[in-house]
């Protein structure tokens, strides 16, 4: 793999050595200069270097080990598979998504451009303008003091998650299963902020802007700027978020401020958010036009050419599930084992999850939990009894509250969106 151009470790240290060290090593004693690395921090350093550091007590705080200075490690991320490093795109293997609330270190990264270098909260401002009664310019402190602050577990899934399964292949990042996460997001409700600005009757769509740069580096050219119909924007579960999992946002996940518009393609959840502009037409920003985040309005045969005017903007994401335990491919001596995962369904709820261990001949109903809040994923678990040693597959199939299930086959479309076919794992019983 190519080296990252922005050498994140050194950059993070240069910007905020305390935060960098905390993310990398879990050392929280800075600026107390006697804060020796111990316990988890020492183990983290050892893990990164692959060995113990005998003279670790002599290492000044903020010292970047030369061996790591220009490595490919994404600070604060753990176990992600990098699909592309310019722009950075990295997904999480399903077995690392087993937690009910996805840790920040395991939240996938989908960047379309070059993230801003200054991601501090101080001085950040968000503008709400366009067709509003009172345009607003708000600091993050203003958001916190003027609006109710809430925390919700919300699923973000990239519209292209599962693209790797398409045949003929679709161009773009070859996501397998892990461009999805459900972290705990803290922020203010988008609807409250829009109401404070006063939405004019003529508004039909939002337009979102962020501080990242187009890959060309051209000033003023946005890598992505999407929007949603005003009815969706007013849903009370959309957040303007400044924390994930109780901490400031990770720089790759949009620090210091982002939208979280759960249930719709992740691209609606603008990172590094600087502006929300209300419009009386469908927004025509970057990745809103052409065939981006669109699918044909009717089923098409795999590989077919579809005229551009027959594409429709993707709205709610379809029902889907993941098997997060056990890890695919494990060998086990157990004949009776717990299988578990999560299920989610865009704007809908999941009503049932079924699993099969005999390639779909028989299905058993899993135990399904209610979501922590609307738009959180739902935990499911089942006990599977396997009759003898050998190779098995476990497949999972979720059904939403309108009776729609995940399909076995992929509903092919030219850009490779919305693959919600079954997740399958391999099991070798010894």
At residue 83's C-alpha, the angle toward residues 342 and 100, to 5°, is: 20
77 binds ligand MTE (CB under 6 A): no
Q: Which does 187 bind (CB under 5 to 8 A by kind): Mo ion, ligand MTE, none?
A: none
List phi, psi (to 5°) of 391.
Answer: -95, 130
120-136 burial code (b ≥16 CB/10 A, e <16): eeeebebbbebbbeeeb
Q: Which of the ranges 78-86, 263-271, 298-306, 388-396 carries the binding residues for ligand MTE, by CB under 6 A?
A: 263-271
Query: Nearer to ligand MTE by C-beta: 223 or 371?
Result: 223
Site for ligand MTE in 91-150 (CB under 6 A): 107-113
Contact 410, 418 (CB under 8 A): no
> Residue of minimal CB distance from ligand MTE?
266
Query: Nearer to ligand MTE by C-beta: 176 or 270?
Result: 270
24 binds ligand MTE (CB under 6 A): no
User: Minimum Å distance from CB 362 to ligand MTE?
Assistant: 36
Q: Encoding tokens for residue 342?
A: 């999560």
Q: Which does 109 bind (CB under 5 to 8 A by kind): Mo ion, ligand MTE, none?
A: ligand MTE
9 binds ligand MTE (CB under 6 A): no
Alpha-carbon distance 415 to 430, whole Å?
Answer: 41
- The count of residues interacting with Mo ion (CB under 5 A) is 4
Which one among 103, 178, 210, 251 touches ligand MTE, defined by CB under 6 A? 210
321 binds ligand MTE (CB under 6 A): no
Strands, sheet with 273-279, edge to edge from the N-terminal-most edge strand: 136-139, 125-130, 273-279, 205-210
Site string for ligand MTE, 232-261 (x = CB under 6 A): ---------------------xx-------
Crossing angle of helices 17-25 and 8-15, in 10° steps, is 130
User: Minimum Å distance from CB 256 to ligand MTE?
Assistant: 13
Q: Encoding tokens for residue 90?
A: 């990295």
Site for Mo ion in 247-266 (CB under 5 A): 266
Residue of 206, 101, 204 whose CA lies nearest to 154: 101
Contact 172, 163 (CB under 8 A): yes
Residue of 85, 197, 182, 78 whose CA lies nearest to 133: 197
Instruction: Classify the phi-psi angles of 72: left when phi > 0, otherwise alpha if psi is within -120 to 50, otherwise beta.
Output: alpha
Residue of 425, 430, 337 whose CA lies nearest to 95: 425
Q: Which of the ranges 231-239, 262-270, 337-345, 350-358 carries the binding residues for ligand MTE, by CB under 6 A?
A: 262-270
Which one among 64, 154, 155, 224 touches ligand MTE, defined by CB under 6 A? 224
110 binds Mo ion (CB under 5 A): yes
User: Minimum Å distance from CB 128 to ligand MTE?
Assistant: 17
271 binds ligand MTE (CB under 6 A): yes
Site for ligand MTE in 35-74 (CB under 6 A): none
Helix (H) or strand (E) holding 192: helix 190-197
Which one among 8, 130, 187, 266 touches ligand MTE, defined by CB under 6 A? 266
In 121-199, DSSP assigns E strands to: 125-130, 136-139, 149-157, 180-189
Alpha-carbon distance 179 to 109, whole Å?
Answer: 8
Q: Which does 288 bind (CB under 5 to 8 A by kind): ligand MTE, Mo ion, none?
A: none
Q: Which residues bind Mo ion (CB under 5 A)?
A: 110, 158, 266-267
Q: Which residues bind ligand MTE (CB under 6 A)?
A: 107-113, 156, 158, 210, 212, 223-224, 253-254, 266-267, 269-272
């Amino acid at each position: 793999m190519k080296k990252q151009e922005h050498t994140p470790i050194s950059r993070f240290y240069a910007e905020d050595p305390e935060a960098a060290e905390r993310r990398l090593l879990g050392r929280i004693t800075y600026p107390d200069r006697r804060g020796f690395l111990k316990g988890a921090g020492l183990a983290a350093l050892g893990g990164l270097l692959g060995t113990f550091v005998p003279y670790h007590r002599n290492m000044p705080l903020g010292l970047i080990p030369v061996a790591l200075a220009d490595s490919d490690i994404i600070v604060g991320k753990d176990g992600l598979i990098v699909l592309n490093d310019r722009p950075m795109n990295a997904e999480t293997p399903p077995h690392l998504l087993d937690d009910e609330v996805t840790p920040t270190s395991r939240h996938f990264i989908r960047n379309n451009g070059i993230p801003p270098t200054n991601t501090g909260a101080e001085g950040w401002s968000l503008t709400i303008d366009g067709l509003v009664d009172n345009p607003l310019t708000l600091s993050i402190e203003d958001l916190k003091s003027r609006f109710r602050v809430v925390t919700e577990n919300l699923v973000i899934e990239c519209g292209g998650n599962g693209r790797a399964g398409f045949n003929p292949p679709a161009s773009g990042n070859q996501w397998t299963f892990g461009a999805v996460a459900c972290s705990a997001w803290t922020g203010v409700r988008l609807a409250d902020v829009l109401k404070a600005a006063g939405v004019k009757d003529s508004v039909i769509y939002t337009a979102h802007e962020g501080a990242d740069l187009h890959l060309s580096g051209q000033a003023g050219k946005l890598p992505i700027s999407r929007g949603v119909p005003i009815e969706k924007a007013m849903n009370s579960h959309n957040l303007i978020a400044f924390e994930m999992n109780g901490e400031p946002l990770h720089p790759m996940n949009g620090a210091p401020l982002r939208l979280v518009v759960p249930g719709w393609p992740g691209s609606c959840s603008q990172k590094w958010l600087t502006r929300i502009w209300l419009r009386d037409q469908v927004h025509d920003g970057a990745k809103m036009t052409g065939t981006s985040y669109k699918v044909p309005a009717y089923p098409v045969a795999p590989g077919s050419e579809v005229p551009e005017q027959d594409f429709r903007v993707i709205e709610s994401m379809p029902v889907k599930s993941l098997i997060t335990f056990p890890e695919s491919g494990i060998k086990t001596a157990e004949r009776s084992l717990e299988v578990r995962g999560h299920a989610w369904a865009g704007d809908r709820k999941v009503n049932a999850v079924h699993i099969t261990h005999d390639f779909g001949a028989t299905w058993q109903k899993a135990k399904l939990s209610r979501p922590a809040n609307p738009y959180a994923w739902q935990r499911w678990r089942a006990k599977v009894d396997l009759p003898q040693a050998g190779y098995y597959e476990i497949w999972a199939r979720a059904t939403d509250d309108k009776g729609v299930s995940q399909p076995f086959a992929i509903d092919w479309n030219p850009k490779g969106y919305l693959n919600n076919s079954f997740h399958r794992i391999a099991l070798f019983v010894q």
